[in-house]
Amino acid sequence: MDEGGTAVDRIDMLVVGSGPAGRRAAVQSAKLGKSVLVVDKGRRLGGVSVHTGTIPSKTLRETVLNLSGWRERGFYGQGYRVKQDISAIDLLRRLHKTLDHEVEVLQHQFMRNMVRSGFGEVRFLDPNTAEIRTETGECTLVEFDKALIATGTHPYRPAYIPFDRTRVFDSDEILELERIPRTMTVIGGGVIGVEYATIFSALDVPVTLIEARDEILNFVDREIVDDFIHQMRDRGMTIRLGAKVKQVTTGATGVDVELTDGRRIRSDILLFAAGRSGNVERLNLQALGIEPDARGRLKVDPHSFQTEAANIYAAGDVIGFPALASTSMEQGRVAACHAFGITPPPPPETFPYGIYAVPEISTVGQSEEVVRASGEPYECGMARFRETSRGHIMGVNTGFLKLIFSLKSRRLLGAHIVGEGATELIHIGQAVINLQGTVDFFVENTFNYPTLAEAYKVAGLDAWNRMGAG
């Protein structure tokens, strides 16, 4: 069944979900000359990534930073704003424009590669047959050789949280805010919680972040996280670590969060962003002999992305960490190649991780904690953005780059950045790690001047001074 309602008898590849993993797998399969059908349960292509996840949150961030004048406050003071009265409509206008463009690009990509697409719910009947049911109740049977499950995730919604889309929101619903809140509480110190907490804080909304564990972003280098937390607190955010929620109640004037230690936090709205669950409930996985875990995640072979059923693959957020659009795309491509007998070269061991908070965090390779635990002798090099001419021009007072080198091989082991532009700058570190470059690269290389990338040279020289000439 394509968008014209045509029945499909037999296809080579059935892709369930049109997010980054599904899209890349579909295009890769089509390029191998296979017939492909992509089915999405939504009304538009793109999946969670385009409609409620990656693209919307990053668009929201960019809009907030532009309208609030956040980037220029280093020069003009904390009271500086580009637009004095920012409304929810201002935020949504740009969001819808971006989403429309993303969907258009995706549709064109599918059309160009002769990938068929349709909308409906997929229910597997056996390892080679599936039923597709549309919103109108129309049902189509599809026979396939291979299938990829790339259904993504939805926000975890525990029963004790009174979600109502008025006072209490999950991370999908927060995009539908009708007004900018006066105050805000965020439960969950993972990537999503931290991103939204800092975005609203950049709008000068007083935000309280609650995390049950004693740390946030535990996969990121501690020195980077410590600086990040300092920056958040410096601008008035309240961070409650090791705080467990006992009860959440809503009223006419706001939301009350009671913690197990007796403290109460009152705010205008609450965002619950403590984890996500795989979209697998309606797939009838029992018919495939596949058993998801408690959070709906599927177990796959880490190299081929095969599930327990040999012809069924899974990729993207539905298989768990790292749950990044970038890695999901690559997983989808590798799965499609494996499905049709192509062995792609092994991917590089390291990939960058970007957290689009305010400020940005990006990391690649090993953290100092991991290197220390391995027992390998190492040295660090540091560079603060304010030490570069570009930093002065931009008026940045915060942000730094940390490089970790092996004392034995002099190779770069990890690069970690907190500050504006971190997600772009990280790729220099990524390239050097994957090409097994050493500290000497940064000392001898010429960088554009003035740029923030110059921080790599400063950090390289800092490490070189401690390590000495090789």
* Residue 5 within a domain: no
What is the predicted pLDDT for the residue at 46? 77
Instruction: Give yes or no: residues 220 and 121 share one domain.
Output: no
What is the predicted pLDDT for the residue at 348? 77
User: Looking at 339, 362, 378, which one is the last position of a domain?
Assistant: 339
Does the structure show a pLDDT above 80 at 8? no
User: Looking at 274, 295, 312, which one is the last position of a domain?
Assistant: 274
Where residue 376 falls (left for φ over 0; alpha for ψ -120 to 50; beta otherwise) is beta
CATH number at residue 114: 3.50.50.60
Q: What is the DSSP letter of 188?
A: -
Instruction: Give yes or no: residues 148 and 15 share one domain.
Output: yes
Q: Evaluate whether 102 touches 50 at the Cβ level (below 8 Å).
A: yes
User: Looking at 239, 274, 309, which one is the last position of a domain?
Assistant: 274
> In this predicted model, what pLDDT tens digit does every residue of 299-322 receive, in sequence order?
999 999 999 999 999 999 999 988
Which tokens is 383 given? 């560079």
pTM of the model: 0.91
What's the mean per-residue pLDDT of the chain?
91
- What is the tally of structural domains in the chain? 3
> In this predicted model, what pLDDT tens digit does every residue of 53-85 receive, in sequence order?
778 888 888 888 888 877 777 676 667 767 777
What is the predicted pLDDT for the residue at 470? 63
What phi, psi does 195 have (nearest 5°)?
-60, -55
Instruction: Give yes or no: residues 25 and 131 share one domain.
Output: yes
Instruction: Give yes or no: residues 55 and 127 share one domain.
Output: yes
> In this predicted model, what pLDDT tens digit does every residue of 133-179 receive, in sequence order?
988 888 999 999 999 999 999 999 999 999 999 999 999 999 888 89
Instruction: Give yes or no: residues 178 and 254 share one domain.
Output: yes
* Residue 292 within a domain: yes
Instruction: Give yes or no: residues 24 and 138 share one domain.
Output: yes
Instruction: Give yes or no: residues 19 and 147 share one domain.
Output: yes
> In this predicted model, what pLDDT tens digit does every residue of 351-379 receive, in sequence order?
999 999 999 999 999 999 999 999 999 99
Across 237-255, average pLDDT: 94
Query: Sign of the CA dihedral 229, 233, 234, 235?
Result: positive
Across 389-396, average pLDDT: 86
CATH number at residue 370: 3.30.390.30
Instruction: Give yes or no: residues 311 and 221 share one domain.
Output: no
Instruction: Give yes or no: residues 146 and 80 share one domain.
Output: yes
Instruction: Give yes or no: residues 14 and 136 share one domain.
Output: yes
* Residue 2 within a domain: no
Domain hosting 256: range is 168-274
* Residue 348 within a domain: no
* Residue 1 within a domain: no
Q: How far apart are CA 150 and CA 22, in angstroms?
A: 5
> In this predicted model, what pLDDT tens digit does every residue of 172-202 receive, in sequence order?
999 888 899 999 999 999 999 999 999 999 9
Instruction: Give yes or no: residues 14 and 149 share one domain.
Output: yes
Instruction: Give yes or no: residues 385 and 366 share one domain.
Output: yes
What is the predicted pLDDT for the residue at 100? 87
